[in-house]
Structure 1
Amino acid sequence: MARRTTLEFLRTEAGSGAVLGVAALAALIVANSPLSAAYFGWLKSEHVVQVGPLFLEMSVSEWIKEGLMAVFFLVVGLEIKYEILRGELSDPRKLATPVMAAAGGMIAPALVYLAVSGILGGPHGGWPIPLATDIAFALAVFAVVARNLPSSLRVFLLTLAIVDDLGAIALIAALFSSGVGLPPLAGVVAVLAIGFLVARRWKIPPPVWVLGFGLVWHLTVQAGLSTSLTAVAFAAIVPVAVRRPGGEGPLREAMHDLHPYVAYLILPLFAFAKAGVSFAGLSLDQALAPLVLAIAFGLFFGKQIGVLGAAGLASALKIGRKPTGATWLELYGVSLLCGVGFTMSLFIGALAFPGAIDSPEQVEVKLGVLLGSLLSATAGGVVLAIASRRRKILAEQTPDTIPD
């Protein structure tokens, strides 16, 4: 009986969220223990992978971020495409809401950052830091607390976060990129175009899809682009139509096959690699530094104001609609979770303020991102837990009534 309960737990989103949380906590502990040197040395160690004439050399951290996480973004892209064509987002107004919310969730944090930085005399160059949402950690918190909430909220969060991150990636390319390799980029476009045309006419066997994705991934790295961007683009060419009676289409099959590996291997490994932030060099005096407060306020206040405000505006103007069956309280909880910037914000912070890992700016970036993300995750988790409990009680009393 105990074994069955454990297996049922591990099949749920809450189970994968719990594993992700444990991996992140383990990373924080190791990064601040006597094993920290070995941990960071392992992440920085270079490894070469060669397949035929193709080879790449990257650090362990880069292999995880650009390699394994490309599979995560592929699955995210597949899920969003399915929802657009067959599910929650097939209504254009329900697609418009998370897109507008993502735009609001980028504009407001930047404005909050610049306002706080201007008032306190902090550096203005860090305004892109609070713009991003960490999809993996935001979804993990949502999965743990949202047992009784409608699945449309998860789709809303997923869509908003991917649009948000694509916007952040575009900003990185525009502000911090040293250039894009045009021949590999042309190769990416060519492979995607050929795959799209062939998939419309003939059934492509799974091994060919795998080879195609591997080729697109390799060319993306050679071009100097983020693999998350082309992984989502590759998902867009995977057909959703069922090829045989009683079966599933290639898109649904890929989602089903890849989900366990993403949930219980790729995301925990990513969390272990990216959540290991050393607190060496942090002091209480730095807790109120202008850069720290600007980032933290941008993530915590800017995100919730921008996301919920834009969603409300979309609804008021009849451009969009809130997620099916969701209340405004539940949408507010999701808006709070969007302030979990963490790994993407830390990455942008390293680009905005280049320097040693223990430089004053980097120390303050870490503190601001951790503070803002922790506040957002805690507040969002509490609000969604209350909403979930409220929905459960109401369902037991009046099953057909949902609070507005």
Structure 2
Amino acid sequence: MIKQLITIERYINKEALSGIILFIATVAAVIVANSSWGQEYYDLWHMPLGINLGDFSISMTLTYWIDDGLMALFFLMVGLEIKREMLVGELSSISKASFPIVAAIGGMLIPALIYVGFNPDNPLGFGVPMATDIAFALGILMLLGTRVNPALKVFLVALAVVDDLGAVFVVATVYTSEIQSQYFLHAGIVYALIWILNKRGVTTLTPYLLLGILLWVYIHAIGIHATIAGVLLAFAIPITSKIDEKRFIEETRESVDEFEKHMDPIPILNHHQIDQLEIIAYRYDRVQNPLVRLEHNLHGLSAFFIMPLFAFSNAGVLIDFSTVSANLMIVLGVVCGLVIGKPVGILGLTYLAHKFNLVKKPDAISWREILAVGFIAGIGFTMSIFITHLAFLDEGTIAAVKLGVFAASFVAALIGVLLLLSIKKEKA
């Protein structure tokens, strides 16, 4: 249990720092977009880039390479987190998973319904207020430090994992272009090969990643958003290691004994010691869990490169409120969905499910704290922006929705923080 708490704490700390970097990247994007460099900023991200593979070619703008390519790695990490949580984490049993699952469903369903209520004739943007930016949300909680109940952080992580799963489902089923069915067979064969590797006990990650690139190519060719390839690959990454922990300990202890046996006064390692270190390193690779190893390697790349780059390339918007007035109902749907829908959905559905004995509220968390987390979950930010680019084509509408997302995320964060501080003050 202590080991799990340490792992969660490390995860949260990394997400918190990522949230700060995301904020800096977003502010920088807005400043540059509204400066004298605005046109150069726009031209850079709309620069076309292409790859040719024989007769097959892919050509997209730099922004789309980030949104479809690099974000596929982000969704690979998301898929790994979902699989891990479902197997050994906060979603690994019905008793632990039921409450955050209900909370996440409420936090997705009510914002979507609010958006559709404002835009019954243009419902496609319902996915925008459904999203939660976990990096920003956890960043807010970490900045509050000991003034926040530690159980809330674990609850928010579990809620966000289910929220991510919902976002993956929406992206896969709703935000697709024209389907090219002839590529389904190609994608199916590649995915079958990936699962064959899994069933045959292959734990080396390289063949999975190489086939994953091919899967991304065919998923993109089908017309389904290519980031889904990352999630599909994640579900096929094995969780078992080559050797168990007991065998690793026994064999490593033998190598350490050999290492110690060949110690000498010379201040450099001799070849016997070097051999034992290499054997330990070999066993280290074999005892490591492939899924956790890949997730760990991707987490830093995602947190400190992919998401900040995504934010800097997509968050730059001209501050022009005329676009907001021209798309007022869409913006209101997004803002109300995030600021009102998230807390109402999360608190309301969990409260009803608890009253009907369908789920049990964790004893360490109060209903007011759940309401506060509901507002914190209303920080859509980068995930909402990601879905905005899928839901809308008109640049003016996209710009207006981004401004709405910024405003809603700020208001939701402010209310959530004030609620948490007031709860802490009452407990003091």
Q: TM-score range by the shorter chain?
A: 0.7 to 0.9
> Which deviates more, 294-303 or 364-373?
364-373
Counterpart of 1:249? 289
Say whether residues 1:162 and 2:159 are aligned partners: no
Counterpart of 1:228? 227
The CA deviation at 1:51 is 6.3
What is the distance in 2 between the residues matched to 1:11 and 1:112? 33
Residues 93-242 of structure 1 aligned to structure 2 (within 5 Å): 93-116=95-118, 124-125=122-123, 128=126, 130-135=128-133, 138-139=136-137, 141-142=139-140, 144-145=142-143, 147-148=145-146, 149-150=150-151, 151-170=153-172, 172-173=174-175, 177-242=176-241
The CA deviation at 1:253 is 1.0
The CA deviation at 1:368 is 3.0
Counterpart of 1:49? 51
Residues 308-327 of structure 1 aligned to structure 2 (within 5 Å): 308-322=347-361, 325-327=364-366
Q: After superposition, give the CA deviation of every residue in 1:243-266 in whole Å (9 maximum; x if it has no partner).
A: 223422101111122221111111
Q: After superposition, give the CA deviation of every residue in 1:281-340 in whole Å (9 maximum; x if it has no partner).
A: 324993994443333112211121112222233333343344684443333233223323
Q: Is the 8 A contact 2:220 2:226 kept in 1?
A: yes
Q: Is the 8 A contact 1:43 1:61 kept in 2?
A: yes
The count of residues paired between Structure 1 and Structure 2 equals 374
The CA deviation at 1:147 is 4.0
Quickly say closer, same or farther: Cα 1:287–1:312, change in 2 above 3 A. Answer: farther
1:259 corresponds, among 299, 307, 314, to: 299
Instruction: Report SS of the residue matched to 1:17.
Output: helix
> Which deviates more, 41-50 or 135-144?
135-144
Segments of 5+ residues of structure 1 without an aligned counterpart are 1-7, 395-404
What is the distance in 1 between the residues matched to 2:190 and 2:59? 23
Amino acid in the other structure paired with 1:180 = I
Bigger radius of gyration among the two: 2
Q: After superposition, give the CA deviation of every residue in 1:201-237 in whole Å (9 maximum; x if it has no partner).
A: 2224222122022111111111111233232221111
What is the distance in 1 between the residues matched to 2:22 and 2:215? 28
The CA deviation at 1:21 is 1.2
Q: After superposition, give the CA deviation of every residue in 1:102-133 in whole Å (9 maximum; x if it has no partner).
A: 33233322332344568xxxx65466154431
The CA deviation at 1:139 is 4.3
Quickly say closer, same or farther: Cα 1:365–1:132, change in 2 above 3 A. Answer: same
What is the distance in 2 between the residues matched to 1:284 and 1:190? 46
TM-score by length of 2: 0.76
Q: Is the 8 A contact 1:81 1:236 kept in 2?
A: yes
Instruction: Report SS of the residue matched to 2:227.
Output: helix
Amino acid in the other structure paired with 1:379 = I
Counterpart of 2:277? none
The CA deviation at 1:72 is 1.2
What is the distance in 2 between the residues matched to 1:156 and 1:93? 13
Quickly say closer, same or farther: Cα 1:94–1:227, change in 2 above 3 A. Answer: farther
Say whether residues 1:379 and 2:377 are aligned partners: no
Counterpart of 1:304? 343
Identity %: 31
Quickly say closer, same or farther: Cα 1:318–1:191, change in 2 above 3 A. Answer: farther
Q: Is the 8 A contact 1:104 1:307 kept in 2?
A: yes
Q: Is the 8 A contact 1:46 1:59 kept in 2?
A: yes
1:92 corresponds, among 76, 94, 99, to: 94
What is the distance in 1 between the residues matched to 2:188 and 2:315? 33
Q: Is the 8 A contact 2:74 2:306 kept in 1?
A: yes
Amino acid in the other structure paired with 1:57 = S
Say whether residues 1:17 and 2:19 are aligned partners: yes
Instruction: Report SS of the residue matched to 2:288.
Output: coil
Quickly say closer, same or farther: Cα 1:193–1:262, change in 2 above 3 A. Answer: same
Segments of 5+ residues of structure 2 without an aligned counterpart are 1-9, 249-286
Q: Is the 8 A contact 1:308 1:332 kept in 2?
A: yes
Counterpart of 2:273? none
What is the distance in 1 between the residues matched to 2:66 and 2:375? 27
Q: After superposition, give the CA deviation of every residue in 1:134-166 in whole Å (9 maximum; x if it has no partner).
A: 435544544643644234224223223213312
Amino acid in the other structure paired with 1:183 = Q
Q: Is the 8 A contact 1:13 1:144 kept in 2?
A: no
Q: Is the 8 A contact 2:204 2:290 kept in 1?
A: no
The CA deviation at 1:46 is 0.9
The CA deviation at 1:274 is 1.6
Counterpart of 2:272? none
